[in-house]
Amino acid sequence: MKLVVVGQPFSGKSTIFREVIGYRAETASSIGAPIELPQGEVEIDGERATVVDVPGLYSLQLGDQDDPRPVEQLLAAVRDATIIDVVDATVLSRSLEFTLQLLELRRPMVVALNMVDDASRKGIEIDADRLARALGVPVVATNGKTGDGVAQLFATALAQRKSPGAERLLTRGAAWFDGAVDAIGARLVAADPALQPERHLLAIKLLERDPLVRERLRSVLGADGWAQIEDQIAALEAQGGQRSELAVSAVRHNLAFVLFEQVARVGRTPRRDLKRELDRIFMHPVLGYLMLALILAGAFALVFLVGRAIEPAILALFDRTSELAAAALGRDTVSNAVAHGILAGIGGGMVIAVPYLLPFFLILSLLEDSGYIARIAYLLDGLLHRIGLHGTSVIPLVLGYGCTVPGILATRILNSRRDKLITATLTSLIPCSARMTIIFGLVGFFISLPAAIGVYAIDLVVVIATGKVLSAAMPEVNPGLLMELPRYHLPQLKALAHKTWFRLREFVIIAWPLLIAGSVVLELINHWQLTPHINAGFAFFTRGVLGLPPAVGITLLFGLLRKELALVLLFGALGTSDVGSVLSSVQIFTFVVFVTFYVPCLATIAALARELGWRTAAAISVVTFGIAVAIAVGVRLVGALPC
């Protein structure tokens, strides 16, 4: 028994899921699913059911430029399940368009009419029984925040499981559309009788030019059959003067509106509205930017202060543990090298995760859950436009200042592959907290604080220039930002903790194991004294190109594993922690700039490969390496000028 909770973004879907499952939800990594879905067990009237939460989606209709994975994921999740469709009652008409698409899937289904109280406050009264009769599936009024109606919702869903779903609701009232769906459906069944049960859905999807269904049916139909279908769709378009995918969405749009008119009564809207009052400040042309600057500066300052306060304690703890291990295992043994590597890896991960990532992600979740992040996207859209992106890219880019891995994974929220590609490339160029420790630890400490801030400035220039070049190379297909501005919410502590943990988990799962493995390899290299050979091999590059002592070769190699390893290792490689006595200021600056840009760390490459494929990940690595060499050589040359 499986219940799948679906709905549009901001419908309150996850709140309902959490109301039932709580925060003990397990995430199941089903094979082929790109993103793990939260799920949990619930007992309803003595019967156990698995409840799955699918990320919010506005539509199941896919365009050519869209990432098909979220839709595929939803379709896979509901295949053998009962659908719980959570609808935001305040935006019923639009939400019903999605509900109609779900009905086309002909799965057992229940509609949760959520936030009815909010709707009623805004003067919208909805007749749930009437809506149920019109849709042909049960409708339960709920309030996710108080939990009202949620038990009844799940009991109804359980009772629904044998129901075959609704009749062909979509086609009611549009005769030309009915005709086309029937004709294409008949052709499909003639080609393969096994398609009989899904013929209507498939016909609609063909009219939508759904890339997934087209791919699937092209081989089933054969060249002739396929050409006939294409002709039929073309004829329909000629007749209607409109692309068929838009015609389908127009049919749904109209039907949803008619349904809305039938079941809802709209009275007068109250004049006072918290959202509008807050937006008057946060989205104000001047005040808005002032607030943004204050909030971001406050967030970074807080992260930096918390990090600096906690970091030494964690490092001390691991130093002590390493001493104990060395005492127990003997100093010059392989097992001590391995143990020391593991401890250093765990410690290194802790030093990033606890002092920097944890507060950073907590603040970011706060901005996200309160609804403020959408306002940041609004405010910065114009600026991001100049580097070929739009406001939505703000989230991955800002996350990138914490850790590049969650930043890259957050590019999922972007629609087009082009935007993902550019944003991911720029995110990997943004100095993460590991790089921050290098910038402040070397340039900040041995040169000056303004010089450290200078590295950030250079970085910003590089990010902007790279964005300009990439967007010029890939002219925009999709003309920009399109985003719903959600209501403001008082964030719930539990939800915040949960979201923070989820982001942190991405670091723990993807990055941490690599840190530990890298540390072990490094310790073994040290143990077997392979370092001089490695350094000699890279001397042409380190000395020849960058003008640095060959001893830094090993640090750059291991900086690939974890950027801040470059800093830790530098002390060992140079034989002193007083870097300023061995390297000139220009050399320190060159080293730091190179480390900041050259090839994302291994965990980032893994994240890039996961989101964009291995080839793209390799391409981004090569590009960033090129940028690093160019900037580092530039710094070296400028440094060599007589002052």
Partner 1 sequence: MKLDLNKGPRLNLLGCRPGDWVRIVSIDAGAGAALNLSRLGLSPGDQVQVLRRSPLAGPIVVRLGESEIAIGRGLAERVLVERAPA
Please check whether residue 459 is in contact with residue 596, taking contact to mean a CB–CB distance below 8 angstroms: yes
Phi, psi dihedral angles at 34 (to 5 degrees): -70, -30
Please check whether residue 612 is in contact with residue 424, taking contact to mean a CB–CB distance below 8 angstroms: yes
Alpha carbon distance 569, 521 (integer Å)? 13
Alpha carbon distance 632, 586 (integer Å)? 10
Tell me the residue type at 478.
N
Site string for partner 1, 121-150 (x = CB under 8 A): -x-x--------------------------
Q: Which is nearer to partner 1, 390 or 499 (CB)?
A: 390
Among positions 94-113, residues that touch partner 1 (CB under 8 A) are: 94, 97
Among positions 268-297, residues that touch partner 1 (CB under 8 A) are: 275, 279, 283, 285
Helix (H) or strand (E) run with residue 124 in it:
strand 124-126
Alpha carbon distance 86, 16 (integer Å)? 8
Determine, following the binding rule CB under 8 A, whether residue 224 of this chain makes contact with partner 1: no
Please check whether residue 229 is in contact with residue 191, taking contact to mean a CB–CB distance below 8 angstroms: no
Determine, following the binding rule CB under 8 A, whether residue 90 of this chain makes contact with partner 1: yes
- Shortest CA distance to 305 belongs to which of 247, 257, 363, 349? 363
Q: How far is the CB of 482 from partner 1 (least distance, A)?
A: 5
Determine, following the binding rule CB under 8 A, whether residue 570 of this chain makes contact with partner 1: no
Site string for partner 1, 401-420 (x = CB under 8 A): --------------x-----
Alpha carbon distance 316, 575 (integer Å)? 21
Q: How far is the CB of 382 from partner 1 (least distance, A)?
A: 3
Task: Show contacts of 173-176: CB within 8 Å, 24+ apart.
Answer: 173/254, 173/255, 173/258, 174/251, 174/254, 174/255, 176/236, 176/239, 176/240
Tell me the residue type at 450.
P
Q: Which is nearer to partner 1, 249 or 585 (CB)?
A: 249
Q: How far is the CB of 154 from partner 1 (least distance, A)?
A: 27
Alpha carbon distance 231, 225 (integer Å)? 10
Alpha carbon distance 440, 463 (integer Å)? 20
Q: Which is nearer to partner 1, 246 or 458 (CB)?
A: 246
Determine, following the binding rule CB under 8 A, whether residue 50 of this chain makes contact with partner 1: no
| Beta bridge partners of residue 573, listed in sequence order | none
Q: How far is the CB of 14 from partner 1 (least distance, A)?
A: 19
Among 14, 15, 39, 61, binds partner 1 (CB under 8 A): 61
Distance of CA 369 to the CA centre of its chain: 15
Site string for partner 1, 362-391 (x = CB under 8 A): ------------x--xxxxxxx-x----xx
Tell me the residue type at 490.
L
Determine, following the binding rule CB under 8 A, whether residue 250 of this chain makes contact with partner 1: yes
Q: Which is nearer to partner 1, 93 or 616 (CB)?
A: 93
Which region among 55-63, 139-147, 163-171, 420-428 touches partner 1 (by CB under 8 A)?
55-63
Q: How far is the CB of 378 from partner 1 (least distance, A)?
A: 5
Among positions 466-525, residues that touch partner 1 (CB under 8 A) are: 476-485
Applying CB under 8 A, the residues found at the interface with partner 1 are 58-59, 61, 63-66, 90-91, 93-94, 97, 119, 122, 124, 243, 245-246, 249-250, 253, 275, 279, 283, 285, 374, 377-383, 385, 390-391, 415, 476-485
